[in-house]
A = this chain, B = another copy of it.
Amino acid sequence: MVKINKDLFSLNNEYSFYNIANIVKDYKKNNKDKKVISLGVGDVSRPIVKSVIEEMHGAVDDLSNMDTFKGYGASNGYDFLKSIILEKEYDNKFGLDEIYISNGTKSDVTNILELFDIDSKILITDISYPIYKDGSSCLNRKVYYADTDDNFKPTIPKEKYDIIYICSPNNPTGLNYTHEELKSWVDYAKKNNSIILYDNVYTAFIETDTPKSIYEIEGSRSVAIEFRSFSKTASFTGVRCSYYIIPNEIYDGVNDLWKKRTINRFNGADYIAQKGAYATYKEKAQKDIKENIKYYKENAKLLINAFKKYNFEVTGGIDSPYLWVKINNDMNSFEFFKFYLEKLNIVIVPGIIFGKKADKYFRASALASREVIEEGIERMKNYYEKNI
């Protein structure tokens, strides 16, 4: 019998996005008369803005002509895209050799583990986005869990860990980390020679006076790798374009080493996606993208109000599209997920997916269309006004 990677058998099974999706699929198949809507899943609903679409059409045309045809780009991305990201997002405080264009943060945040010793002790928050644990398992890495405060943010451990995943604005809780919180993690990392993997894909949603990048924290360049994406900002969930920064200060020669790794493991992001990502920085595109973010934020407000009206405690939905909602009856989160699916035909994401401590919570998302948000609120109203 062929020897299978035994760590794959530790992947979350019953309580996973994969299983949730299958349960929803089965429910729909067996209840074709019911119109199931999702107030939970993290996909966007707004289309890509016009000026970006135009640039993507131009990129497709480039590929149709021998003189303008583009084959392999660099494994780490085109300079035209790297340059504009460095200028617009990082005020040119990093160089072209410190940024990598890729095809999605989900892959990037676990692929980066290849840079570090396989026996590195990895710290994740108990509770967190399940990819950190399960992606680490695929790569035969072992994770440990940090204790959490009342907001499900990790508290600084006494022990030494080599790699620390921080997701901010947080999936699932929707909260952004404060300057003080990040400073204490940067200090911890400097003291312990640790690396912070900073998953920052919702940065465009931040409106409170909290850091938009970990590099706002003094001393972070020697200890933090930051990951971002065009998915939620520019509606690129189907197009696939992400980026990350590895500061040269992390380790002498780190970017030479990582470029050698990347040229062996990846052939670059799609050219059309990179041209589209570039176009998101044009003035008109920025204006339209800000309108989309505003639209989602209005969705979030509608949802927060509705949940509060029916006696749920809610956090998040301010600096992120996610709402973190405390279950207001004696169900656990999986029971509540099934109850909402079967009684209201609404999909929410049960907290248990993010960790056992979250079993009295669920994640809702403001990324659906206004129509779906309003329909969901209407169903809640009908249900709760009949049943309270």
| A residues adjacent to B (C-beta < 8 A) | 1-6, 8-9, 11, 13, 16-18, 43-48, 50, 53, 56-57, 60-61, 63-66, 69-73, 103-104, 106-107, 110, 114-120, 130-131, 134-135, 138-140, 162, 193-195, 235, 237-240, 250-251, 254, 257, 259-261, 263-273, 369
| Docked-complex contact A235 and B195, CB < 8 angstroms | no
- Bound together, the chains give a CA A53 to CA B107 distance in angstroms of 28
The 3 closest A-B pairs by CB, nearest first: A3-B117, A43-B71, A71-B237
- Bound together, the chains give a CA A60 to CA B63 distance in angstroms of 14
Please give the count of copies of this chain that the complex contains. Answer: 2
| Docked-complex contact A240 and B264, CB < 8 angstroms | no
- Bound together, the chains give a CA A53 to CA B134 distance in angstroms of 38
| Docked-complex contact B64 and A50, CB < 8 angstroms | yes
- Bound together, the chains give a CA A279 to CA B306 distance in angstroms of 45
| Docked-complex contact A2 and B194, CB < 8 angstroms | yes
In the complex where A107-B265, A273-B270 touch, is A260 in contact with B4 (Cβ < 8 A)? no
Instruction: Please name all residues of chain B whose beta carbon is closer than 8 Å to the beta carbon of A17 when the two chains form the complex.
Output: 263
What is the distance, in angstroms, from A368's C-beta to the closest C-beta of chain B? 11
What is the distance, in angstroms, from A226's C-beta to the closest C-beta of chain B? 16
* 18 pairs, A vs B, C-beta closer than 8 Å: A1-B193, A2-B116, A3-B117, A5-B117, A8-B114, A11-B261, A16-B260, A45-B69, A57-B60, A63-B239, A70-B238, A104-B266, A104-B267, A110-B264, A114-B138, A138-B264, A237-B267, A238-B270
For the complex with contacts A8-B115, A17-B263, 14 further pairs of A-B residues with Cβ separation under 8 Å are: A2-B193, A3-B117, A3-B162, A4-B116, A4-B117, A8-B114, A46-B66, A47-B69, A50-B64, A56-B272, A107-B266, A138-B265, A240-B268, A270-B270
In the complex where A117-B3, A267-B106 touch, is A64 in contact with B47 (Cβ < 8 A)? yes
Instruction: Please name all residues of chain B whose beta carbon is closer than 8 Å to the beta carbon of A104 when the two chains form the complex.
Output: 266-267
| Docked-complex contact B270 and A239, CB < 8 angstroms | yes
A264 touches which of B46, B116, B134 (Cβ 8 Å): B134
Instruction: Please name all residues of chain B whose beta carbon is closer than 8 Å to the beta carbon of A3 when the two chains form the complex.
Output: 116-117, 119-120, 162
Which of A43, A46, A48, A69 is most buried by chain B, counting CB atoms within 10 A of its CB? A69
